[in-house]
A and B are shown apart, each in its own frame.
Chain A
Amino acid sequence: MENDIAIEHSPIHRDDLGSKMGMWLFLFTELILFGGMFILYASYRYMHSDDFKVAAMRLDTTVGTINTIILLTSSLCAVLSIAALQKKQKLLSMYMLIFTIVLGGAFLINKYFEWSTKIHHGIYPRGPEMANFSDGEVLYYGLYFVMTGLHALHVIVGMIFLTFMLVFVAKDKLTYNNHQKLENAGLYWHLVDIIWIFLFPLFYLIH
């Protein structure tokens, strides 16, 4: 019988479907959180479309593209990790999880360089350079820092979540037929990826 290591007491009742539903409901709250800001972005872009274009030119499209591909690849690794665990390939599953987390870290490092460049040039809320910006540009950068900042916080939370899952897989607390927690962590990570899929064109590709 599988899972011999974990059996110290009678089997605990699990509700994997309920667990997954709960995670999805939480994801919808995240959708509203970012959705509200996207609505704000849409409104201000509608009102200041030219200023938004000017402001966007200061962002580096190449870094943004690389970051997009980094997150897409990390999403791939997350789902491969689940598939590997289902196929009883525990070591592969752990490697995929590690790679997911490392790619998340790479994304954050890029973000750090992007932000520090801006801040170094005085472009930050109430910064010296922003005092010369038009209203629309100020709104653009306010939204840029808040939305990418909140997104980066979610990346950090996701990385912590995934690290816990890595430990659980290592300790056989998650197995080929008991891995809903890992799937839930994957769902959260994919949502973070989807949010960036929209952030990228809206902030970097306005031409």
Chain B
Amino acid sequence: MEDTNTSHQVSYGIYILVWLGLVGLTLLTVSVAGLNLVSLTLVVALTIAIIKSLLVTNYFMHVRTDTRVFKVFIFVSLIMFLTLIILTFFDITFRTGGK
């Protein structure tokens, strides 16, 4: 199909900026864990983790600039995984007695 790869070129600077963002978010998530937010800690930590994953996926893995089919691929597989986890929790949260 393609005999030469002329994929979208990104400058080094963007990658370094994304990396700085990732390191910053890492330090943020560690500091937030140090505050005593009880159950909110999990939500915040997971939100930051999702943002970091989006940065890695879109910029480092080039999904943002690639053809749209890859975004569709990822979307479908994430829906599948979310379905699994939600259905699992429908089960375990409504169990009574012996956990």
Residue numbers in A under 8 Å from B7 (CB-CB)? 16, 86, 183
Q: A28-B73, A69-B23, A205-B29 are in contact. Are A46 and B92 (CB under 8 A)?
A: yes
Is there a chain B Cβ closer than 8 Å to A156's Cβ?
no
Min Cβ gap B30→A in Å is 5
Residue numbers in A under 8 Å from B16 (CB-CB)? 76
CB distance B5 to A180 under 8 Å? yes
Q: Which of A112-120, A125-133, A163-171, A190-198 contacts B (4 or more CB under 8 A)?
A: A190-198
The number of residue pairs between A and B whose CB atoms lie closer than 8 Å in the complex comes to: 131
Residue numbers in A under 8 Å from B23 (CB-CB)? 69, 72
Is there a chain B Cβ closer than 8 Å to A148's Cβ?
no
CB distance A75 to B92 under 8 Å? no
Is there a chain B Cβ closer than 8 Å to A109's Cβ?
no
User: Which residue of chain A lies nearest to B84 when distances are taken between CB atoms in the complex?
Assistant: A39
Residue numbers in B under 8 Å from A11 (CB-CB)? 3
Residues of A within 8 A of B (CB): 11, 13-18, 20-21, 24-25, 28, 31-32, 35-36, 38-39, 42-43, 46-47, 61, 65, 68-69, 72-73, 75-76, 78-80, 83, 86-87, 177-180, 183, 186-187, 190, 193-194, 197-198, 200-202, 205-207
Is there a chain A Cβ closer than 8 Å to B67's Cβ?
yes
CB distance A73 to B19 under 8 Å? yes
CB distance A39 to B41 under 8 Å? no
The answer, among B9, B10, B41, B99, for a CB contact under 8 Å with A207, is: B41
Is there a chain A Cβ closer than 8 Å to B36's Cβ?
yes
